[in-house]
Amino acid sequence: MVGRNPQPVKHLSKHAASADFDDQIAAMVTALGLPRAALSFVDFADGRCHHYRADEWFHAASTIKVAIMVALFALEEDGEVGMNSAIRVTNDFHSVVEGAPFRLDPERDSCPELYRWLGREVAVDALVRDMIVSSSNLATNLLLASTGVSVLQQKLVELGFDGVELRRGVEDEAAFQQGIINRVTARGLLQLFTHIWQGEWPGARYRQGMLEILFEQRFSDRIPSGIPEDIRAHTRFAHKTGEISTVVHDAGLIFLPERMPYGLVVLTETGGSPENSRQLIRALSHLVYRQRLKP
C-alpha cells in the first residue's frame, strides 16, 4: 500500500467561497476579539463546501492526534505496525532536537490514569483509543516513540495529505524553543476527515474502527454544542478537539439523523481568551448548521 494516494476530492477545491458568509465569520471573529480563525466545511450529501482562511497554518494542538491515528492504521495495513502488539509504558522520551531527554507532567495530561501503568505493557490499539478519546499525551508520545515521528509523517505524505505536519511529540520543549511545532490548516484537517469517510484507503474495517474511536471523544463543548439540543440528542460526532494556551480547535464529521454526514473544521487563535474561542466554534457550528446544509 506504500505510495497509494487518496482519491481526488473535488469539493475541497480552493475556489468555493461566498463573500457574505465570509463577512459573517469575520464579524464574529472580530466581535469576540480573536486574532484570527479559519473554517473548512463540506457537505457529503451534495458536495457543497466553504473555506475561510483555510490555508493558513495554526499550531495543531491535539488535532494532530487524528493524523497520527490515520498514519498508524495505514502502517498496520502495510504490515509495519500491529495494533495488537504491546508497548511498555514509560515516561522517558527524547526530543527530536539532539535527543534531549524529557518527561511529561501527569498533572497537565487529560488522561492521568495511564500513568498507573508505568512499567507494564499496553496494546497499541488501547493507546490509540486513549490518544483520541481522552486526548492522552502519554499515549501519544508512546506511539510516536515506538513508531517514529518521521515514519508517521512520511506515511501522511505518501497518502497525499497537505496541510498537516507532524514534527515532534507532546511537550518537547527543546523542539518548541527552536520553533518546531506540529501544525495544520483547516483545509488539511478537513482532507484528513474526508479521507477517513470516503477515501479509497482505509478499507471498511479500518474506517469503521477509526470512526468508533472518534465517536467516543469525551470533549463536546464546541462543534456539538452548536447543534440545536433536540437535534444534537440524535446526532453522532466523530471529532477531535485541540487546545493549548494560544489555540482552541475542533474538527470532525457530523452525522445528523437520516442524512449523509458533513465535515467541519474550525481553528482559532485565542488572543488570551480560550472561552471566546470556544464560543466562536459553537457559533460557527450553529451558523453552518442553519445556513450551509441542504434543507
Which CATH number goes with the domain that contains 26?
3.40.710.10
Among 34-43, 135-144, 270-279, the range scoring the smallest mean pLDDT is 270-279
Residue 271 pLDDT: 86
Record the pTM.
0.92
3 in any annotated domain: no
Residue 2 pLDDT: 29
249 in any annotated domain: yes
Is 90 exceeded by the pLDDT of residue 19?
A: no
pLDDT mean across residues, the chain: 91
pLDDT category at 148 given cuts 50, 70, 90 is very high
1 in any annotated domain: no
Is 50 exceeded by the pLDDT of residue 35?
A: yes
253 in Cβ contact with 194 (< 8 Å): no
193 in any annotated domain: yes
161 in any annotated domain: yes
Residue 24 pLDDT: 96
CA separation, residue 283 to residues 27, 88, 113, 224 (Å):
12, 42, 33, 11
Among 54-63, 71-80, 227-236, 252-261, the range scoring the smallest mean pLDDT is 71-80
Bridge partners, 264 (sequence order): 41, 252
The stretch 143-166 carries a mean pLDDT of 96
30 in any annotated domain: yes
Please list the alpha-helical segments (H only) found in the chain. Answer: 19-31, 64-77, 124-133, 137-147, 149-158, 173-177, 186-198, 204-215, 229-232, 274-291
Residue 40 corresponds to which amino acid?
A: S
Residue 63's nearest CA partner among 208, 259, 265 is 265
Provide the grid cell at 1. 500500500
4 in any annotated domain: no
The stretch 133-150 carries a mean pLDDT of 97
The stretch 269-287 carries a mean pLDDT of 95
Say how far apart CA 237 and CA 210 lie, in whole Å. 12
Range of the domain at 122: 10-291
Residue 39's nearest CA partner among 28, 238, 212 is 28
5 in any annotated domain: no
Is 70 exceeded by the pLDDT of residue 14?
A: no
List, in order, residues 6 or more apart from 123 with CB less than 8 Å away: 83, 84, 85, 86, 87
Bridge partners, 121 (sequence order): 88
CA R_g for the chain? 18
Residue 78 pLDDT: 86
Provide the grid cell at 258. 437520516
Domain count, the chain: 1
